[in-house]
Amino acid sequence: MKKQKFQAPTGMHDILPSDQVFYRKVGRIAENLVDFYGFEKIDTPIVENAELFEKGTGLSTDVVQKQMYSFKTKGGDYLALRPEFTPGVVRAYIEHGMMNLPQPLKLWYLGPLFRYERPQAGRFRQFHQFGVEVIGEGNPAIDAQVIQIFYNLLQELKFRHLIVEVNSIGDNQCRPYYKKSISSYFKYREQQLCLDCKRRLRENPLRILDCKEEKCQRIINQAPQMVDYLCDQCKTHFKKLLEVLDDLNLPYHLNPLLVRGLDYYTKTVFEIWDDTEGGKALGAMVGGGRYDSLVKILGGKDTSACGGAAGLERIISELKARGVKPLEPQSRIFVAQLGDLAKRKTLGLVENFRKEGISIAESLGKDSLKTQLNRANKIGAEYSLIIGQKEALDGTVIVRDMHSGKQDIVRMEKVAKEMQRRLKK
């Protein structure tokens, strides 16, 4: 009988220890940023009611029609693995009466999402996003701050050629006129469109603008532009946003064909790209915009909102392509031990260091002293604490300076304080 070989499902991936350093680095920078800007963390369930996304994200979107992992439970509930965060965050906002808290509410999240799509570089069927949502404020300064947060995130990750693509797609007052115009434009060219865009023409012609097929791109580039159809309110909002971006010295590019792939957006939409050849091939690293209608669509009151999200896998893929190696903080102290009694003493010693808040590395295997000290050198330890049979019986520790080779003997109960003193020096 052939032995079965198990592998991760197509499009899913293990995050091995060598990759975890990248995720931790991005996560730490993101968390420092949202703390500074006064955001609070929210976690929503990985599984939600599928109708939440059908209603919120939009029935005609690729996310719902092609990519959503939906299923029926044994009890007959129609559920889905979350393909994005925003509808779940808005659902929580309504469900828990968060509109009664001081507004605007500034929330952030980081976690896995699921979409059935063709796996490629930086794009998986299970992936991770960091995102922010600001609910309860319609001022364009909020749009600019959301963009600023993601721009700062990428800057701190050493991306130096960033460009913000920005557009306004209007609102329910002016967008119908644009949809009518663009529908007429594409109808005359329907035979030249891909199969997906022919379907989009019937369901939601705006989705055609999001198509990446080359033959559709040629037609899209000549299409009418939303900016020419904006009502006075949307035009003013967009103008003020661009003024704030100018004041912040954020490099942006007006992309009149940018619509994003989700139905709930109103007014501002944006993406942030790495403006290099490799970065462009990877796609947008960040996307978002304003969604002033979503709270009402999902059962709440008229509430302004804006948000954005960054795909961690895309960012990390580009960091790896550039040969970036995040430096993890290493332990400055290593404990080497020889013999069973020394191992037992080492465990207690490690706990003493933990209580003092001092990072320490050890090897509790059967390695020789030479092998253990080689490992101490490899991790860049400044000091090694050596416990042999004699030291274990005497209650002492040999403290070895890994640079000079000088050794001292210190009482075991005093060694944590002694190392704290030496590290401060």
**Residues 206-241 pLDDT 10s:** 888 888 888 888 888 888 888 899 999 999 999 999
Q: Is pLDDT larger for residue 92 or for residue 381?
A: 92
Residue-wise burial string across 319-354, b where 16 or more C-beta atoms lie within 10 A, e elsewhere: beeeeeeeeeeebbbbbbbbeeebbebbeebbebbe
Residue 131 three-state SS = strand
Beta-bridge mates of residue 408: 399
Which DSSP category does 64 fall into? Answer: I
Q: Are strands 383-387 and 126-135 parallel, antiparallel or unpaired?
A: unpaired
CA nearest neighbour of 168 among 250, 244, 251, 257: 257
pLDDT value of residue 248: 94
C-alpha–C-alpha distance, residues 238 and 339, integer Å: 71
More confident: 402 or 62: 402
**What pLDDT, on a 0 to 100 scale, did the predictor assign at position 308?**
97
> Does residue 196 have a pLDDT over 90?
no
More confident residue, 205 or 40: 40
Q: Residue 259: pLDDT band by 50, 70, 90 thresholds?
A: confident
Residues near 180 by beta carbon (within 8 Å), at least 6 away in sequence: none
| Statement: residue 270 has pLDDT above 70 | yes
Residues 6 or more apart from 72 whose CB is under 8 A from it? Answer: 78, 79
Domains, the chain, with CATH or none:
17-174+230-321 (3.30.930.10), 333-424 (3.40.50.800)
User: Residues 6 or more apart from 328 whose CB is under 8 A from it?
Assistant: 21, 24
| pLDDT over 90 at 399, yes or no | yes
pLDDT tens sequence across 323-341: 887 766 678 899 999 988 9
350-372 confidence digits (pLDDT tens): 888 888 888 898 888 767 888 98
Question: What number of CA atoms fall less than 13 Å from residue 171's CA on the CB side?
Answer: 17
Q: What is the mean pLDDT of residues 56-60?
A: 81
pLDDT 10s digits, 230-239 = 999 999 999 9
Radius of gyration of the chain (CA): 28
DSSP character at residue 120: B
Does residue 86 register a pLDDT over 80? yes
Give mean pLDDT, residues 299-319: 94
**Average pLDDT for residues 170-193, to the nearest whole number?**
89
Please return the burial class of 231, using the count of CB atoms within 10 Å of its CB with bins 0-12, 13-18 and 19+: middle
Predicted confidence at residue 257, as pLDDT, reads 87
Whether residue 262 has pLDDT greater than 90: no
Residue 233 and residue 171 in contact, taking contact as beta carbons nearer than 8 Å = yes
- Mean pLDDT in residue range 98-105: 96
- Per DSSP, what are the bridge partners of residue 84? none
Which of 137-151, 311-325, 339-353, 361-375 shows the lowest mean pLDDT across its residues?
361-375
What phi and psi values does residue 311 have, to the nearest 5 degrees?
A: -85, 115
| Predicted local distance difference test score (pLDDT) of residue 279 | 61
DSSP 258: -
Helix (H) or strand (E) holding 134: strand 126-135
In terms of Cα–Cα distance, which of 36, 27, 13, 14 is closest to 328? 27
pLDDT bracket for residue 260 (50, 70, 90): confident
